[in-house]
Amino acid sequence: MRFHSPQKLKTIADLIGSEFVGPENFEVLGTNEIHRVKPGDIVFVNHPKYYDKALNSAATIILIDKKVGCPEGKALLVSDDPFRDFNKINTHFTRIYNFTEELHDAEIGEGTRIHSSAVIGNNVKIGKNSLIFPHVVIGDRTEIGDNVIIQSGTVLGGDAFYYRKLNGNFDRLISVGNVIIENNVEIGNNCTIDRGVTDSTVIGEGSVLDNQIQIGHDTVIGKKCLIASQVGIAGCCIIGDEVTLWGQVGVASGNTIESGSVILGKTGVNRDLKKGTYIGMFAEDFKGYLKKEVKLRNLK
């Protein structure tokens, strides 16, 4: 999430009541989740296991639960609860409506048709000649391009599935990102595409999604991908261009699939994959799988 205007380190520290390490006028441009951070972003970390990853990431402001050595050119915000204060920063700069208020501020392009039963949130943009079917729900800040088809029952921009355990209960990381649907995308019935925690969940130009597909927060789907029914993609994944995911493929969080890959039905993706064709519970090379099956069948 980028702030509407740059902020100062001391301003953010005062907002959350934290100590800071660095010049008080150190520039802060926004916040982001660790997989999507850029220079000028705040990233939070609340476990020593991940200190190095956060401190050495592209983020230049680290919201952390312990005062540690600060890398050159970066700044720290030292908080007793970074998770809580990350939420506090995000909701200070992004209004959360959750359909409780209607601003009627959607921008709708020429030739676009929207069924009267569709529900549209605030700050939504829809391009030209798109078609929104009955009972579609489009959450706040969603951006939809030209010539897009979204079929019945699909929900764009639901909350990210991102929690921590706190005092025996689950505590949500509030989602202030959005969903971006690029031009010429088709999305089937009853799909659910979560908005980013702090960035965008993106469906690339020309991609086609079947029915009953779940795509997690901050995931980026490339151009001209083909995704079959009941595929589940967790958060913060990168799917390259012209990737085919057949039915019931599952992709674990934070993984990358290279452009041009084909993932056969019911395959589980638990690691980054180079271009190829894969099958199986742990995504093995398809040709290797066939050779193994032949050897097993020939055993006496």
Which residues are tagged catalytic? 217
Give the DSSP letter string of 251-281.
E-TT-EE-TT-EE-TT-EE-S-B-SSEEETT
| CB count in 10 Å sphere of residue 123 | 17
Residue 174 DSSP class: P
Q: Kindly tell me the sign of the dihedral angle through the C-alpha atoms of 69, 74, 77, 83.
A: negative
**255 vs 39, 119, 129, 229, CA distance in Å?**
22, 32, 34, 20
Which residue matches tokens 């605030």? Answer: 122
Asked if 227 and 210 count as a contact pair (C-beta separation under 8 A), the reply is yes
Site of tokens 């069924």 = 115
Torsion of the alpha carbons at 177, 179, 182 and 187, rounded to the nearest 10: 170
Amino acid identity, position 235: G
- The DSSP code for 199 is S
